[in-house]
A and B are shown apart, each in its own frame.
Chain A
Amino acid sequence: MSSKPTLGVFKFASCDGCQLSLLAAEDHLLGVAAEVEIAYFLEATSHIQPGPYDIALIEGSIITSHDAERIQQIRRDSKFLITIGACATSGGIQALRNWADCNEFVRSVYATPDYISTLATSTAIADHVQVDFELRGCPINQYQLIEVIQSVLAGRRPRTPVHSVCLDCKRRGTVCVMVAQGTTCLGPVTQAGCGAICPTYNRGCYGCYGPAAQPNLVSLTGQFESSGVPREQVVDSLRNFNGYAPEFRAESERLEASRESTT
């Protein structure tokens, strides 16, 4: 048996994009593979080893009762559990069902809804088990992932910046799309990590890294509304890949509730 620390990669409801980031880190892939024993990574290898695992990477959200049980076992088997991506940290885009009638959703997609067994909500992994570290993004940043794995291997607590995309734009010298073009942008309330990509491509940030630390959402959504964006659209802009992250969720529900009370 090798004495290298073991790594497991586990998938729940997701698109595979976050675990693919590990395979996409071409220059680092063979390096990481040399430092850890890949004990469970279905997408990459047929070699399957039972737990315990030193590091577990969890991609995806919980939308079936079977998965709600499976994550418990993985938690028991894992020393350090890291959730990767918006699905795992906030429920992902599939959490839009949380505001809808899920049965109606199922009926509209499948001809025989009886065959479908799915929960009415899509929830983050942390709603089910204790999580040791959360890595944000839809998808995650591969360099952050490598850094996080290396920190854990070195016995350090991983850290990723919690400031906003907006600050990264200033650092990169990107012209503000809100000021220059009047484009709505979630950069001021979204956590950094992507490198502030969208504004450099002439579009507003749509929040795929989830809420930054202490986001001032009320002020930003107020600004959107006073520039003429209909409330419904403001609500939708918060309800996408991280819509069920607590801060985004609270604000979209606040806006919706105040719309109802005014009409």
Chain B
Amino acid sequence: MTERTIKVTALTRVEGEGGLYIKMQGDAVEDIRLEIYEPPRLFEALLRGRALEEVPDITARICGICPVAYQMSSVHALEAALDVTITPEIRQLRRLLYCGEWIESHALHVYLLNAPDFLGFESGLEMAEQFPDEVNRGLRMKKHGNQLLEVLGGRAIHPINVAVGGFYRAPRRDNLQTLIADFEWGLEAAIETTRWVAGFNYPDFTCDYQLVSLSHDEEYPMNEGRIATSIGESIAVADYESEFEERHVEHSTALHSLRKKTGETYLTGPLARVSLNFDRLSSTARAIAAEIDMAWPCFNPFQSIIARGLELIHVYEEALDIMRDYSPPRPPRIEYSYQAGESCAATEAPRGLLYHRYVVDADGKVGDATIIPPTSQNQAQIESDLRDWVPYALSDDEAATSRRLENLVRCYDPCISCSTHFLKVKIERT
């Protein structure tokens, strides 16, 4: 039997840097690894001893693509440890901020990173030559996300306005009103986006997923909820660490999240969220989902891009609702006093569930921090899906094979920069 090794040394159009290593014996996959080159920045260690007020500013720097997610999971966890209850108005404003990040992140992924794969381009910029209207639409949506983040957060990347207890300053009503016309256009653009991506050609490829996402009785999951799974569980976030576990797997040097009791892989992110919370999508998102006539839950990873489209519709609609009703929360930030404690929180980053846990002392200093990003949770699943995808992707043309493998990796929108938990991988060659 011939031995064949396929290596994609630099995955492109993913956030952060990684590679892919596959070893074949004849037609059988002997080894498969999603390799992370991302050097370890050791956030959990460097947080120890810092004042808890600094945590949202510091954890934002884990990821420049979804800083708000890190800020949200951290402030919710810290507020729980301090017994701070935020007002419904602050809570709405946080949802609005999160909407901005979802729009920015999903528009970036759909138009610049993922759609080029379906249409055969090397980049969104190259795609722009043949699809200028679509790319401009995507860029304009991305800009809306950024504008909302700028108004609410002070700037789009690493917002400065997120505080434990709320916001340093609430935007004025007219600051948000000026965005409404653009967002009305954006809602239409999100509908067009979903129709457009629904028309792409999808490989007939499904995986046997255990889907995992936050779930909330009254709203589409974002800042809080219980953890729902496609096998019918409803898990309190406080039980996350007894239900999910990071482990070393024999063939890999990266930490993989698995179900603790069964050792099973699971999938988090847009596909899981839409599948598990379909009835809490906005009315327009549900109507468009009906129009494109696709079955949910969906188990085809390539169709994650459609889930992102539906979520874009949802967040535009929700953002419009919040902005139309908005009046500035008073006070914008709830006061608190220090107390020793420990608590956790999970929110839905654009890429999936993001779990944080902190121990704080009576002087307001962080004693211990645990951060489990969505890509680390998906990594074992991505490898398992790749294993199943190899037979479809394999051809004599090495470049074409690599490209097809990469296509699948990009569908998860892996954000490798959130390397709080990724290991430097050593490549073993025999």
Verify B158–A23 contact, CB threshold 8 A: no
Report how far A118 CA is from B426 CA in the complex, Å: 12
Tell me if A136 is interfacial: C-beta within 8 Å of chain B: no
Report how far A73 CA is from B143 CA in the complex, Å: 35
Verify B39–A44 contact, CB threshold 8 A: no
User: Provided the pairs A16-B63, A112-B248 are in contact, do residues A105 and B140 lie with their beta carbons within 8 angstroms?
Assistant: no
User: Provided the pairs A44-B13, A111-B248 are in contact, do residues A63 and B39 lie with their beta carbons within 8 angstroms?
Assistant: yes
Verify B423–A115 contact, CB threshold 8 A: yes
How distant is B70 from chain A, measured CB to nearest CB, in Å?
Answer: 10
How distant is A124 from chain B, measured CB to nearest CB, in Å?
Answer: 15
User: Which of A45-53, A149-157, A212-220 has 4 or more CB atoms under 8 Å from chain B?
Assistant: A45-53
Verify B46–A105 contact, CB threshold 8 A: yes
Verify A93–B41 contact, CB threshold 8 A: yes
Tell me if B62 is interfacial: C-beta within 8 Å of chain A: yes
Encode contact with A along B229-271: 1 for CB under 8 Å, 0 otherwise: 0000000000000000000100001010000000000000000
A19, A45, A92: which contacts B12 (Cβ < 8 A)?
A45
Verify A47–B123 contact, CB threshold 8 A: yes
Verify B154–A201 contact, CB threshold 8 A: yes
User: Provided the pairs A63-B39, A198-B154 are in contact, do residues A45 and B46 lie with their beta carbons within 8 angstroms?
Assistant: no
Report how far A45 CA is from B125 CA in the complex, Å: 8
User: Provided the pairs A20-B65, A116-B40 are in contact, do residues A44 and B157 lie with their beta carbons within 8 angstroms?
Assistant: no
How distant is B160 from chain A, measured CB to nearest CB, in Å?
Answer: 5
Report how far A112 CA is from B421 CA in the complex, Å: 12
How distant is A77 from chain B, measured CB to nearest CB, in Å?
Answer: 15
Tell me if A33 is interfacial: C-beta within 8 Å of chain B: yes
Report how far A112 CA is from B254 CA in the complex, Å: 10
Tell me if B51 is interfacial: C-beta within 8 Å of chain A: yes
Tell me which residues across on chain A come within 8 A of B67, comparing CB atoms: 15, 17
Verify A203–B123 contact, CB threshold 8 A: no
How distant is A180 from chain B, measured CB to nearest CB, in Å?
Answer: 13
Tell me if B134 is interfacial: C-beta within 8 Å of chain A: no
Q: Which of B11-43 contact A (CB under 8 A)?
A: 11-17, 38-43
Verify B248–A97 contact, CB threshold 8 A: no
How distant is B46 from chain A, measured CB to nearest CB, in Å?
Answer: 4
Verify B51–A64 contact, CB threshold 8 A: no
Q: How many residues of B contact A (CB 8 A)?
A: 64
Verify B15–A16 contact, CB threshold 8 A: yes
Verify A15–B168 contact, CB threshold 8 A: no
User: Which of A24-32, A125-133, A247-255 has 4 or more CB atoms under 8 Å from chain B?
Assistant: A24-32
User: Provided the pairs A42-B12, A42-B17, A43-B14 are in contact, do residues A109 and B44 lie with their beta carbons within 8 angstroms?
Assistant: yes
Tell me if B10 is interfacial: C-beta within 8 Å of chain A: yes
Report how far A44 CA is from B121 CA in the complex, Å: 12
User: Which of B53-61, B198-206, B354-362 has 4 or more CB atoms under 8 Å from chain A?
Assistant: B53-61
Verify A241–B61 contact, CB threshold 8 A: yes
Tell me if A202 is interfacial: C-beta within 8 Å of chain B: yes
Tell me if B424 is interfacial: C-beta within 8 Å of chain A: yes
Verify A93–B46 contact, CB threshold 8 A: yes
Verify A94–B46 contact, CB threshold 8 A: yes
B42, B57, B160, B426: which contacts A197 (Cβ < 8 A)?
B160
Tell me if B96 is interfacial: C-beta within 8 Å of chain A: no
User: Provided the pairs A93-B61, A197-B160 are in contact, do residues A63 and B142 lie with their beta carbons within 8 angstroms?
Assistant: no
Verify A15–B417 contact, CB threshold 8 A: yes
Residue ID in chain B nearest A117 by CB atoms: B424
Tell me which residues across on chain A come within 8 A of B16, comparing CB atoms: 11, 16
Residue ID in chain A nearest B37 by CB atoms: A66
Residue ID in chain B nearest A104 by CB atoms: B45
Encode contact with A along B176-198: 1 for CB under 8 Å, 0 otherwise: 00000000000000000000000
Between A and B, 11 residue pairs with Cβ closer than 8 Å are A13-B41, A16-B63, A17-B64, A26-B140, A45-B123, A92-B41, A94-B46, A118-B424, A197-B154, A203-B163, A241-B61
Task: Pick the 4 closest A-B CB pairs, nearest first.
Answer: A17-B64, A45-B123, A105-B45, A94-B41
B residues contacting A by CB (< 8 A) are 10-17, 38-46, 48, 50-51, 54, 57-58, 61-65, 67, 108, 112, 116, 122-126, 128, 139-140, 142-143, 146, 154-158, 160-161, 163, 168-169, 248, 253, 255, 403, 406, 417, 420-421, 423-424, 426
A residues contacting B by CB (< 8 A) are 11-21, 23-24, 26-27, 29-30, 33, 38, 42-48, 63-64, 67, 92-94, 96-97, 100, 102, 104-106, 108-112, 115-118, 122, 138-139, 194, 197-198, 200-203, 206, 208, 233, 236, 240-241
Give me 17 other A-B pairs in contact (C-beta within 8 A), A42-B10, A108-B45, A116-B424 excluded. Answer: A14-B64, A15-B64, A17-B158, A19-B64, A24-B156, A42-B17, A43-B14, A44-B112, A45-B125, A47-B123, A47-B126, A94-B42, A108-B48, A197-B154, A203-B161, A236-B50, A240-B54
